[in-house]
Amino acid sequence: MSQSDVRLRGIQKSYGKVHVIHGVDLDIEPGEFTVFVGPSGCGKTTLLRMIAGLEEISGGTLTIGGESVNDLPPSDRGVAMVFQSYALYPHKTVFDNMAFALKIAKVPKEEIAKRVNAAAEILQLGEYLQRLPKALSGGQRQRVAIGRAIVRNPKVFLFDEPLSNLDAALRTKMRVELATLHRSLGATMIYVTHDQVEAMTLADKIVVLNKGRVEQVGRPLDLYNKPASLFVAGFIGSPQMNFITGDFAAQRGATTVGLRPENLRVQAGGPLQGTLRHSEKLGNETFAYVNAGAMGEITARMEGTLPLEPGNTIELAFAPEHLYRFNADGKSI
Ligand SMILES: Nc1ncnc2c1ncn2[C@@H]1O[C@H](COP(=O)(O)OP(=O)(O)OP(=O)(O)O)[C@@H](O)[C@H]1O
């Protein structure tokens, strides 16, 4: 499998007078799994589609494998994209869906059969090759869509929320399969998702986008442990980090402090006091939603169960090293 780097320099996108991407610089190394995350409308899909060649680039340069591709059509960029909707041909069999792009490219028949069979083996689709897409499950259809990308032996794989149409159990299974696929192919992959767990578990590198700009780039655990800003701290991690302002923050030399739900514990006399509003008991863990008066609403995650009822007083403590501090500009201190 070929591996290519992807480099973005000052990439911009405008639709008429509306600027949606404001000069993105980004380096994606050969073989790297890069995930774009950010709130709805931040420009993840637009950026991916510009790399694919499906959206014109309004400014800046894009290179793939060292070659400027700004003016190349999608088919000449050596990229293969997998869509959320799968976009399979309904009247073609699984084999023909996977073979189609190769037929168009006039690849010899034997070579097509070899590549389709190899991809089908990797994706465990061998027994379905003569079926039509309508006779497949959602997960199998998504595997065909991925197979269609694999047979083209692209320099770069692009994924646009590929698992979001699948139910929770299948998502988990496909997530593990994608990670395994990346390891076995060693290909460069760029992936857009809304899903925290997908971003944290699949990525070598996460790119957090905010209103058409790169907010922070880093390895998943670096973003989790050392978010550069309030924005990233609030975006990476689920449930979301608690933010507290006012005196509690000021005493700690910040305008806002952050505490992750998993870093809070019940402790008599703890510095965070409130009333338990609701608790969610999942068996192995419990989420406590606490009304902490002037400090606002605080979420705590506890191992096991919590022997408290709504309306009870709850006191929470944390270790000092788990406190995140932010200044008035929202930057980490
Ligand atoms: N054809 C268009 N004309 C004008 N604005 C557009 C067009 N396509 C997208 N946009 C705007 O560009 C911005 C980025 O859209 P994009 O789809 O890339 O966001 P996203 O981060 O992928 O969002 P989501 O997570 O909701 O899919 C949005 O504000 C959107 O309204």
pLDDT for 122 equals 84
Residue 81 one-letter amino acid: M
SS3 130: coil
Centre of ligand 1 to C-alpha 212, Å, is 10
Centre of ligand 1 to C-alpha 36, Å, is 14
Pocket, ligand 1, Cβ cutoff 6 A = 15, 18, 20, 38, 40-46, 194
Residue 286 one-letter amino acid: T
Distance of CA 220 to the CA centre of its chain: 10
Per-10-residue mean pLDDT of the chain, 333 residues long, equals: 88 95 97 96 96 96 96 92 88 95 92 93 90 91 91 93 85 89 92 92 96 97 96 93 94 94 94 95 94 93 91 95 95 94
Q: What is the tens place of the pLDDT at every residue in 191-237?
A: 999 888 899 999 999 999 999 999 999 999 999 999 999 999 999 99
Residue ending a domain, among 196, 231, 266, is: 231
CATH at residue 98: 3.40.50.300
Tokens 């894009």: give the residue. Answer: 62
CATH at residue 243: 2.40.50.140
pLDDT for 138 equals 85
- Do residues 171 and 126 both lie within one domain? yes
DSSP string, 77-127: TTEEEE-TT----TTS-HHHHHHHHHHHTT--HHHHHHHHHHHHHHTT-GG
Centre of ligand 1 to C-alpha 313, Å, is 45
How do 67-68 and 18-28 pair as beta strands?
Answer: unpaired
Does some domain include residue 331?
no
- Do residues 74 and 195 both lie within one domain? yes
Does some domain include residue 333?
no
pLDDT for 3 equals 83
pLDDT for 1 equals 55
Does some domain include residue 1?
no
- Do residues 202 and 148 both lie within one domain? yes
Residue ending a domain, among 185, 204, 231, is: 231
- Do residues 183 and 247 both lie within one domain? no
Residue ending a domain, among 197, 231, 265, is: 231
Centre of ligand 1 to C-alpha 215, Å, is 17
Does some domain include residue 106?
yes
pLDDT for 307 equals 87
pLDDT for 174 equals 86
Number of domains in the chain: 2
Q: Considering the entire predicted model, what is its pTM?
A: 0.91
- Do residues 132 and 199 both lie within one domain? yes
Tokens 């139910």: give the residue. Answer: 167
Residue nearest to atom 28 of ligand 1 (CA): 41
Q: Which atom of ligand 1 is nearest to the CA of 194?
A: 25
Report the phi/psi class of residue 52: left, alpha or beta, with left for phi > 0 and alpha for psi in -120 to 50.
alpha
Cα distance between residue 64 and residue 123, in whole Å? 27
Phi, then psi, of 178 in degrees rounded to 5? -65, -40
Q: Give 173's Cβ-side CA count (13 Å radius).
A: 11
Instruction: List the domain range (segments joined by +) for residue 103.
Output: 6-231
- Do residues 148 and 70 both lie within one domain? yes
Does some domain include residue 124?
yes
Does some domain include residue 199?
yes
pLDDT for 192 equals 96
Does some domain include residue 260?
yes
pLDDT for 2 equals 65
- Do residues 19 and 154 both lie within one domain? yes
Does some domain include residue 332?
no
- Do residues 202 and 249 both lie within one domain? no
- Do residues 101 and 200 both lie within one domain? yes
Residue nearest to atom 18 of ligand 1 (CA): 43
Cβ atoms of 82 and 151 within 8 Å: the answer is no
- Do residues 99 and 244 both lie within one domain? no
- Do residues 43 and 150 both lie within one domain? yes
- Do residues 273 and 291 both lie within one domain? yes
